[in-house]
Amino acid sequence: CKMGKEDDPYAVLNNKLQVYGIENLRVFDVSMMPKLVSGNTNAPAMAIANNAVNIMLDE
């Protein structure tokens, strides 16, 4: 789930983790990471979730 500008044909998410073209749907998991990590994904997943909560609370 690439994050990018709406005119990017490969972008799925905006900077608020909202899916383009689908209302009320957000993605915030390790699929949005630009590069895969070679180790355990637990810590990056928790960091992404923490940032997602902050983004949603700010709205």
pLDDT of residue 54: 97
Q: pLDDT tens digits for 21-58?
A: 999 999 999 999 888 888 999 999 999 999 999 999 99
Q: What domain range is 7 assigned to?
A: 1-59
32-40: long-range contacts, CB 8 A cutoff, minimum separation 24: 32/1, 32/2, 32/3, 34/2
**Helix boundaries (H) for the chain:** 42-57
The count of structural domains within the chain is 1
Q: Can you give the pTM of this predicted structure?
A: 0.81
Nearest alpha carbon to residue 1 among 23, 25, 24, 27: 27
